[in-house]
Structure 1
Amino acid sequence: MPANLTVSNQTVPPDTSHNFPALVFGILLIVVIICGNLLVCLSVYTEKALKTTTNYFIVSLAVADLLLAVLVLPLFVYAEFQGGVWALNMIICDGLMAMDVMLCTASIFNLCAISIDRFIAVSIPLNYNRKHVDQRQKLLLAATWISALAVASPVIFGINNVPQRDPSCCKLEDNNYVVYSSVCSFFIPCPIMLLLYCGMFRGLRRWEEARKAKLRNNNVRGRAKLQHAVTLPHLTRPPPSSPPPDIQRNPPDLKLEELAHFSRRDCPFPPGYKDCPIQTIAYPDRRYAHTPPIKKTAKINGRERKAMKVLPVVVGVFLFCWTPFFVVHTMRVLCESCDITPQQMSVVTWLGYVNSALNPIIYTVFNTEFRNFFQKFLHSFC
Structure 2
Amino acid sequence: MENTYQNTTSCCEDQDLYDISEHPMHSIAWLATVPLTLSIIIAVTIVGNAMVIAAYFRDKRIRNNVANLLILNLAITDFVVGAFIISIDTAWIIKDVWTYGEVFCKIWLDVDFVVTMMSLLTMVLISWDRYCLLTMGMRYKTFQTKKRICVILTISWTVVTLIYTFLAFGWSPITGEYNVDYSQNCEMEFTYNVAATLVINIFEFFIPFTILIILNIAVYSNIKRRSNGTVGQSPSIHASARSPKRSFGPGSPKRVNYHPPDGPSGPVAVSPRRGGDAVEANATSESTDNRADGENSLTRQLSNERDSTSKKEGRTFARHRKAAFVLAILIGCFLLCWLPYQVTSVMYAVCDTDCVSTRLWEVTNLLLWCNSTINPFIYAATNVHFRRNFRKFLLLDRWACDFKNCKLKCQNANQIQVATGSLNDSTVT
TM-score bracket for the superposition, by shorter chain length: 0.7 to 0.9
Which of residues 71, 82, 85 is equivalent to 1:69?
Answer: 82
Which of residues 51, 70, 88 is equivalent to 1:57?
Answer: 70
Tell me whether 1:178 sits opposite 2:194 in the alignment. Answer: no
Instruction: Note the alpha carbon deviations across 1:221-275, whole angstroms, 9 max, x for none.
Output: 232246535998529xxxxxxxxxxxxxx9x989x9xx9xxxxxxxxxxxxxxxx
Which of residues 103, 123, 138 is equivalent to 2:115?
Answer: 103
> Matches of 2:243 and 2:62 in 1, distance apart?
42
What is residue 15 of structure 1 aligned with on the other side?
A: 23
Worse-superposed segment, 181-190 or 58-67 = 181-190
Query: 1:139 offset after TM fit, Å?
Result: 3.1
1:321 touches 1:355 (CA, 8 Å); kept in 2?
Answer: yes
Which of residues 117, 133, 137 is equivalent to 2:149?
Answer: 137
Tell me whether 1:366 sits opposite 2:409 in the alignment. Answer: no
Stretches of structure 1 that go unaligned for 5 or more consecutive residues are 236-249, 260-281
> Matches of 2:91 and 2:326 in 1, distance apart?
34
> Matches of 1:337 and 1:70 in 2, distance apart?
28
Query: 1:150 offset after TM fit, Å?
Result: 3.5
CA spacing shift, 1:143–1:119, aligned 2, 3 Å:
farther
2:330 touches 2:375 (CA, 8 Å); kept in 1?
Answer: yes
Task: Give the match's secondary structure for 1:124.
Answer: helix
Tell me whether 1:123 sits opposite 2:142 in the alignment. Answer: no
Which of residues 347, 355, 361 is equivalent to 2:371?
Answer: 355
Which of residues 185, 188, 193 is equivalent to 2:212?
Answer: 193
Query: 1:338 offset after TM fit, Å?
Result: 6.5
> Matches of 1:381 and 1:180 in 2, distance apart?
53
- RMSD of Structure 2 on Structure 1 (CA): 3.8
Tell me whether 1:47 sits opposite 2:63 in the alignment. Answer: no
Which of residues 112, 122, 130 is equivalent to 2:124?
Answer: 112
Residue type at the aligned position of 2:200? S
Query: 1:321 offset after TM fit, Å?
Result: 1.1
Residue type at the aligned position of 2:23? D
CA spacing shift, 1:128–1:356, aligned 2, 3 Å:
same
Stretches of structure 2 that go unaligned for 5 or more consecutive residues are 1-11, 255-282, 400-429
Tell me whether 1:331 sits opposite 2:344 in the alignment. Answer: no
Tell me whether 1:203 sits opposite 2:222 in the alignment. Answer: yes
Query: Which is helix-richer, 1 or 2?
Result: 2
Query: 1:285 offset after TM fit, Å?
Result: 4.5
What is residue 216 of structure 1 aligned with on the other side?
A: 235
> How many residue pairs align between the two structures?
332
> Matches of 1:47 and 1:151 in 2, distance apart?
35
CA spacing shift, 1:334–1:221, aligned 2, 3 Å:
farther
2:110 touches 2:164 (CA, 8 Å); kept in 1?
Answer: yes
CA spacing shift, 1:302–1:150, aligned 2, 3 Å:
farther
> Matches of 1:230 and 1:332 in 2, distance apart?
81
Task: Give the match's secondary structure for 2:37.
Answer: helix
Query: 1:378 offset after TM fit, Å?
Result: 1.4
Residue type at the aligned position of 1:82? K
TM-score under structure 1 normalisation?
0.74
Query: 1:151 offset after TM fit, Å?
Result: 3.5
2:168 touches 2:189 (CA, 8 Å); kept in 1?
Answer: no
CA spacing shift, 1:133–1:305, aligned 2, 3 Å:
farther
Which of residues 169, 178, 182 is equivalent to 1:163?
Answer: 178
Task: Give the match's secondary structure for 1:80.
Answer: helix
> Matches of 2:298 and 2:146 in 1, distance apart?
50
> Matches of 2:353 and 2:392 in 1, distance apart?
54
2:341 touches 2:364 (CA, 8 Å); kept in 1?
Answer: yes
The structure with the larger Rg is 2
TM-score under structure 2 normalisation?
0.67
> Matches of 1:346 and 1:221 in 2, distance apart?
66
Higher relative contact order (CA closer than 8 Å, sequence separation 6+): 2
CA spacing shift, 1:153–1:220, aligned 2, 3 Å:
farther
Worse-superposed segment, 175-184 or 370-379 = 175-184
What is residue 82 of structure 1 aligned with on the other side?
A: 95
> Matches of 1:285 and 1:64 in 2, distance apart?
60
Task: Give the match's secondary structure for 2:98.
Answer: coil
Query: 1:34 offset after TM fit, Å?
Result: 1.0
CA spacing shift, 1:70–1:287, aligned 2, 3 Å:
closer
Task: Give the match's secondary structure for 1:53.
Answer: coil
Task: Give the match's secondary structure for 2:56.
Answer: helix
CA spacing shift, 1:122–1:82, aligned 2, 3 Å:
same
Identity rate of aligned residues, in percent?
21
Query: 1:330 offset after TM fit, Å?
Result: 1.7
Worse-superposed segment, 116-125 or 173-182 = 173-182
> Matches of 1:335 and 1:306 in 2, distance apart?
44
2:110 touches 2:168 (CA, 8 Å); kept in 1?
Answer: yes
Tell me whether 1:24 sits opposite 2:36 in the alignment. Answer: yes
Structure 1: 4+ residue segments shifted above 6 A: 286-291
> Matches of 1:287 and 1:112 in 2, distance apart?
49
Residue type at the aligned position of 1:214? Q
CA spacing shift, 1:283–1:331, aligned 2, 3 Å:
farther
Query: 1:28 offset after TM fit, Å?
Result: 1.5
Query: 1:309 offset after TM fit, Å?
Result: 2.0
2:216 touches 2:324 (CA, 8 Å); kept in 1?
Answer: no
> Matches of 2:372 and 2:223 in 1, distance apart?
29
CA spacing shift, 1:253–1:157, aligned 2, 3 Å:
farther
Tell me whether 1:148 sits opposite 2:164 in the alignment. Answer: no
